[in-house]
Amino acid sequence: MDTNTPHRRYNPLEDRWVLVSPQRMNRPWSGQTEEASSVALPSHDPKCYLCPGNKRTSGQKNPEYRGQYFFENDFSALLQGASKKEKHNDGLLIAKSETGVCEVVCYSHQHNSTMAELPDEDITKIIGVWADRYRELGSRPDINHVQIFENRGAEVGNSSPHPHGQIWAQASIPSLVKQELDNQKKYFEKKGVPLLVNYLKQEEAKNERIVYENKDFVVLVPYWATWPFELMILPRRNVMSLTELLAGETEMLAESLSKTVKAFGKLFGRTPAETPYTMGIHQAPTDDQTHLETTLHFHFHPPMLTPTRQKFMVGYERFGEAQRDLTPELAARQIKKELG
């Protein structure tokens, strides 16, 4: 098939299609453009509500922490103790209460040390915090899913440049996660092998979209990628969650994360603090069920099409289906080039 002409690619994780339109890459653009700031961040900002020793808007004061620090979000999207018995069902008007907890994880006490600037050993510690919070929150009887994510950069609505991520743990399995789980389960029941295990084998055989790899992890542009420079990190040994990683594998994951976020900065010509992306970790739910179909994986969705242009998901993308101009193969070559 000629991939330089319009075609659709199937996403088996989400059971949906994406329209690829390579011929649109050279169309003229007179819309919104983005410019990076050259302002350097201090190591400590007295006005930052995440820096050590500072008072947050809730009135609580951060301890003089060093390294990583987590706390319950002062403006949580979920509340603990909400009654799971409260439901509303009136024909097509259906609702139910939701309980959960939201946490903030500071990656470093230094205001200007993003993941791209931290040494691998510090990223290994961050992974350790993620695994500990997944384990502890997931052990609660009212928590069936733990979503870990990070928003970096103004383009994705990051509220503070201080290096941090978030954890939302809740009673229900979120819709997008359930969609992935259902499709992985269907595949596993049919093939007896996790979907992403076989997918990685195909990617390794073709070697067209892999941008980085070490002995334990592979970083690649998914064949069905929606965002122009979307990346996924997959383990070579199938594990269902961060808690199953061995010490050496955690170090290799830290290296993979570091390479990924640094590549985005080079690709978009941004400082680490300004490099825009959103990252999410998908792993097994904590619902006391066995999820042999699942594979731990990381999604990275940077919003940029070029260093100065954002990719806007509007129009056809909102009302038709996902669409991209840059082919995943070309995106992979561009990212790999920045990795040296």
DSSP, residue by residue, 263-284:
HHHHHHT--GGG--EEEEEE--
CA distance 86 to 265: 46
Task: List residues with catalytic annotation.
Answer: 164
CA distance 177 to 196: 15
Closest of 138, 129, 130 to residue 171, by C-alpha? 138
Residues 6+ apart with CB under 8 A from 208: 329, 332
The separation between CA 27 and the C-alpha centre of its own chain, rounded to angstroms, equals 30
Phi and psi torsions of 70, nearest 5°:
-130, 150
Helix crossing, 195-206 with 175-191: angle to 10°?
80
CA distance 129 to 244: 14
Please report which helix (H) or strand (E) contains residue 210, including its range: strand 210-213
CA distance 200 to 117: 29
DSSP, residue by residue, 111-168:
TT--TTTS-HHHHHHHHHHHHHHHHHHHTSTT--EEEEEEEESGGGT-S--SSEEEEE
The token duo for 336 is 């790999």
Beta bridge partners of 69: 106
CA distance 302 to 19: 19
CA distance 89 to 82: 18
